[in-house]
């Protein structure tokens, strides 16, 4: 429903600069605004250069003004704008459905009374699911899995047998936890799969992105530590032990038996080889190729990755190569000319 700028200001405890009766019909970020929209301006360098488009008003930090545009000054621009977006586009809350008769639940499974199970979900034997958890359509939970309280598993995710999920964890659509690890030995000319006797253990308050895969351990668990957040399309191999509160971005690949400390950040498309350790609070930049252990609080860049400062110096030198090549050719020409002059001088002297 449309509302006035004054009503929006009341919603976010802001101060109006401009006509308080101005009608606001929606909220959109910079670059996609429509007539009647309010947008946000966070005073970053990017925002200063941005086109405010068709917006009629903006949320701004206190003390910031935009000539010719009505504003609402607030303490926290992003928190206020999120509240406004929710006002115009409230999140859809599905009605609780309990346990759908179209779900398949093994009689030996133990589900808390308020667990929701949506149509098409399959829950195997000896599974336990804690209070308040939601199992969406098409989820397949195999035998022996242990799922804590307030866990949400979105459509199409698969938990292989004996997977353990901590409380308040979120698993997004298409994720696969506990598939066989990629471990083979070549025996008599044939690749023979190694032991697949382990499982996956996910700590509390973890988030696992869509289509992410986490393989089971060979004999014990592959572990994801408490509070770690994993983006979409990440691959974590068998026997890895990911520490607490890591941030792992899209398309990262971590090979078998590697470990990380706490508060590690791994940016998009970085690759980590097997059997290495990433120290606490290390940062692996996008597309970094990690081939050795990384000390704590180190930022790594490049492939193969080196400490950020070393890699930047190498990159600067690389960019100078064309000019250095021209300088080298000029020096070669000069040396050739001097050599010819010297040879002629020798002949004259003779």
296 and 161 together in one domain: yes
SS3 content of the chain, % helix, strand, coil (to 5): 20, 30, 50
Cα angle 87-88-90, degrees, rounded to a multiple of 5? 65
Residue 11 sits in a domain whose CATH number is 3.40.1390.10
Residue 220 sits in a domain whose CATH number is 2.160.10.10
Position of tokens 């026997």? 239
pTM for the full model? 0.86
Q: Cα(257)–Cα(273) distance, rounded to whole angstroms?
A: 9
41 and 177 together in one domain: no
Q: Cα(172)–Cα(157) distance, rounded to whole angstroms?
A: 7
176 and 266 together in one domain: yes
Predicted confidence (pLDDT) per residue in 311-347, tens digit? 888 888 888 989 999 999 999 999 999 998 888 877 7
Contact 93, 100 (CB under 8 A): no
pLDDT at 160: 98
Name the stretches of the chain with pLDDT < 50: none
pLDDT at 311: 83
Nearest of 284, 238, 245 to residue 261 by alpha carbon: 245
286 and 163 together in one domain: yes
Position of tokens 């691959």? 235
300 and 170 together in one domain: yes
186 and 298 together in one domain: yes
Residues in the chain: 350
How many separate domains does the chain show? 2
The reply to whether 334 falls in a domain is no
pLDDT at 30: 86
Nearest of 150, 93, 148, 145 to residue 122 by alpha carbon: 145
185 and 72 together in one domain: no
pLDDT at 47: 56
Residue 238 is among the residues annotated as catalytic for this protein: yes
162 and 78 together in one domain: no
The reply to whether 64 falls in a domain is yes
- Domain limits at 43? 3-88
Evaluate the CA torsion angle 321, 323, 326, 328 in order and state its sign: negative
173 and 269 together in one domain: yes
pLDDT at 73: 95
271 and 161 together in one domain: yes
User: Of 268, 288, 304, which marks where a domain is finished?
Assistant: 304
The reply to whether 20 falls in a domain is yes
Q: Spell out the residues 6+ positions from residue 235 whose beta carbon is closer than 8 angstroms to its own.
A: 212, 213, 252, 253, 254
pLDDT at 313: 86
161 and 84 together in one domain: no
172 and 281 together in one domain: yes
Q: Pick the catalytic residue: 140, 238, 245, 277? A: 238
């Amino acid at each position: 429903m449309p509302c006035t700028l004054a009503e929006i200001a009341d919603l976010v405890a802001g101060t109006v600069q401009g006509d308080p009766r101005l009608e606001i019909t929606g909220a959109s970020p910079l670059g996609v605004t429509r007539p009647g929209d309010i947008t946000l301006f966070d005073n970053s360098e990017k925002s200063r250069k941005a086109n405010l488009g068709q917006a009629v008003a903006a949320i701004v930090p206190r003390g910031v003004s935009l000539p010719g545009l009505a504003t609402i000054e607030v303490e926290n621009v992003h928190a206020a704008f999120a509240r406004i977006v929710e006002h115009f586009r409230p999140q859809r809350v599905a009605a609780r459905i309990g346990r759908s008769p179209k779900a398949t639940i093994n009689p030996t499974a133990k589900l808390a009374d308020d667990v929701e199970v949506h149509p098409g979900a399959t829950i195997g034997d000896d599974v336990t699911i804690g209070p308040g958890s939601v199992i969406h359509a098409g989820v397949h939970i195999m035998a022996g899995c242990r799922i804590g309280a307030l866990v949400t598993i979105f459509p199409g995710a698969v938990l292989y047998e004996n997977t353990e999920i901590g409380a308040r964890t979120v698993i997004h659509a298409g994720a696969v936890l506990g598939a066989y690890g990629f471990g083979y030995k070549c025996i008599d000319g044939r690749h023979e799969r190694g032991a697949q006797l382990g499982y996956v253990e996910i700590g509390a308050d973890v988030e696992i992105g869509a289509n992410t895969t986490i393989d089971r351990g060979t004999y014990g668990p592959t572990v994801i530590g408490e509070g770690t957040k994993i983006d979409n399309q990440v691959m974590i191999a068998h026997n890895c032990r990911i520490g607490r509160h890591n941030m792992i971005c899209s398309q990262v690949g971590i090979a078998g038996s590697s470990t990380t400390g706490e508060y590690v950040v791994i940016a998009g498309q970085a690759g980590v080889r097997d059997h290495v350790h990433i120290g606490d609070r290390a940062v692996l930049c996008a597309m970094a190729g990690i081939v050795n252990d990384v000390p704590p609080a180190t930022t790594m860049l490049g492939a193969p990755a080196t400490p950020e400062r070393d890699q930047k110096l190498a990159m600067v030198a690389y960019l100078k190569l064309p000019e250095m090549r021209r300088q080298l050719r000029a020096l070669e020409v000069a040396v050739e000319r001097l050599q010819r002059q010297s040879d002629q001088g020798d002949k004259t002297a003779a």
